[in-house]
Amino acid sequence: MIGMLLFGFVASQSLANVDRILSSPPAPVAKNVDDLGSDAARLLLKYQAAELNRFLFEAWGVAQIGLGAAILSAMVFTAHRNKLLIGLALFMAVASLFQAAYIRPYMNALGRSFDFLPLTAAARERENFNSYYVMYSVAEVMKLMAGLLLTGRLIFDRYGWKQKLMPAPPDRMQRRGKPVLTKAEAVNDSNNGHIDG
């Protein structure tokens, strides 16, 4: 779950870093940037940042499949296993596989098709890219929610909070200071007779 948040932050920062570099380029390359022109330098640096993001997300996608399989295995073999935990882990693994095998390849191909084009060009490709990006983001949020539910349930089971928050009712309840007897206890009472076992 931390990896999802970390990779989202890294992706946003690598593209924002292009503008930070071009606003005050390092002295050794400042003349080269001027010779190349700020627009061409921006395109080149944005392409490099986009390619780095694509590589990182592909690697993270493969890692998520492995993590999903490991979590699913752990849920199947844990002492606290139940259908909810196995279902959540299965959902996370399948969602990771869907992202890595279907969504990311299309996003990468679409992104590369307009990397060097002006912002007004390739409107259809950009619209399709945004649709896949929304699908990817929704899958990430759903995996994050499933992971939080799974974690909460395991912690809840681990520390026995169900018994602490909702204790089982006592065998003999009190009513106005006197114990309320069950039917068997009432019959077994010395004033009422005895049940032979």
Q: Are the C-beta atoms of residues 54 and 108 closer than 8 Å to each other?
A: yes
Residues paired with 179 in a beta bridge? 174
Report CA Rg, the chain.
Answer: 30
Give the pLDDT score at 196. 54
Give the pLDDT score at 171. 53
Q: What is the widest separation between alpha-carbon atoms in the chain?
A: 108
CA–CA separation, 19 and 39 (whole Å)? 11
| Coil vs helix vs strand at 82 | coil
CA–CA separation, 154 and 60 (whole Å)? 25
Q: Are the C-beta atoms of residues 75 and 143 closer than 8 Å to each other?
A: no
Give the pLDDT score at 193. 52
Greater pLDDT, 165 or 46 = 46
CB count in 10 Å sphere of residue 7: 19
Greater pLDDT, 21 or 129 = 129
The pLDDT tens digits for 77-107 are 877 678 888 999 999 999 999 999 999 999 9
Q: Which amino acid is residue 106, in one-letter code? A: Y
- SS3 per-residue string spanning 23-40: HCCCHHHHHHHHHHCHHH
The pLDDT tens digits for 24-69 are 888 888 888 888 887 888 888 899 999 999 999 999 999 999 999 9
Give me the chain's average pLDDT, please. Answer: 81
